[in-house]
Amino acid sequence: MSQKFQASVQHRGDVSYVKLGGVIDEDNELTDLVDKIPAGTAVIDLGEIERINSCGVRDWVNWLSKLENNGTRSVLVECSPAIVAQINLVNNFTGSGVVKSFYVPYFCPECDEEKVLLVEATDMGPPPHEPPTCRCDECDLVMDFDDMPDSYFAFLSNQKKLAEPDKINGAMRDLGRGSEPESGKGKVRSRASQPNLSGAGSKPSVPSLPSIQRTSTQPASAIMGSGGQKPQSKPPSRPQLGSKPPTGPGGSRPPGSMRGSGSDALPGNSFGFAGQSMSTGSVAPPGRSNALVFVLIAILLGAIGVLAYLVLTK
């Protein structure tokens, strides 16, 4: 079987448990599973499906049609976000089957973590559907739903009622595939580290968003001001008042240090970098100095004009 696509089939009475994983594309082997699934109920686990393209959708729809023609009813469980997207896009993606459970994607902006929460379709209630609350495993904050509720839960509006739910749940428990949430809490797992059927390592179902890190050539002591607060705005090329240039090896201050301390600091000055508020007696800010220069120039030009007028009128 293809390494991109994995499948396994188990039976309990007239219930077949079909677990699919990997990628469903033009190289899928769905047709090989038709003879392995007898008439009855086929519980199809789609939690490990990472991606499905247009060719895979075509073969999937044809495969479900063949199963239904053989007298098999399909029940979709643990539908991954990739499958939910196709259910909302393709009208006959589920055929005459029903979705029992599916994963809901979440994202934590504080920890840059992605999770998926398994929920039962029957627990979502009537529309409008809102995503259940999911907390981050790292910071315990409420995570953000990583999609649009109206579009992601659209398929629930036409959701069919599951026939013989007790029978299906019993078969899944006997096969060790029970997916019902415990005590009303959904099953949670990371989207970046889902297990693989083949045991050859895990593949990400949805790529994790990269962390945005700011790099700086200045040391931490230069970036952080007094009190541990970050500067609001500071030109990187402006020198720190009250500091000395680097003295090199053996000097009293490491290269790049911008904080004045001890005898190096200006009298009465308690700032950590240029641009923060300064105490009385410190140098005026650059903006005020520029304004003073412009005023002096204007006075000088006015005086020159007065002298020129007096000379010309004599």
The CATH number of the domain where 159 resides is what?
3.30.750.24
Residue 65 in domain = yes
Joined together, the tokens standing for residue 140 give 């315990």
Residue 143 in domain = no
Residue 116 in domain = no
Share of the chain above pLDDT 70, in %: 63
What is the 8-class DSSP label of residue 159?
Answer: P
Q: What is the pLDDT of residue 189?
A: 59
Average pLDDT, the chain: 74
| Of 44-58, 108-122, 217-231, minimum mean pLDDT range | 217-231
- Answer yes or no: is pLDDT of 308 > 60: yes
What is the 8-class DSSP label of residue 264?
Answer: G
User: Which residue, among 32, 56, 25, 23, has the nearest Cα to 196 in the 3D structure?
Assistant: 23
User: Which residue, among 52, 68, 55, has the nearest Cα to 5 in the 3D structure?
Assistant: 52
Instruction: Give the mean model confidence (pLDDT) for residues 67-78.
Output: 95
Residue 218 in domain = no
Q: Is 63 helix (H, G, I), strand (E, B) or coil?
A: helix
Residue 271 in domain = no
Q: Is 11 helix (H, G, I), strand (E, B) or coil?
A: strand
Quick check: 139 and 111 in contact, CB under 8 A? yes
Instruction: Give the mean model confidence (pLDDT) for residues 13-32.
Output: 93
Residue 179 in domain = yes
Residue 295 in domain = no
CA distance 207 to 4: 17
- Answer yes or no: is pLDDT of 169 > 50: yes
What is the 8-class DSSP label of residue 74?
Answer: E
Query: How many domains in the chain?
Result: 1
Residue 162 in domain = yes
CA distance 244 to 229: 23
| C-alpha radius of gyration, the chain, whole number | 34
Q: Which domain holds residue 92?
A: 5-103+148-183
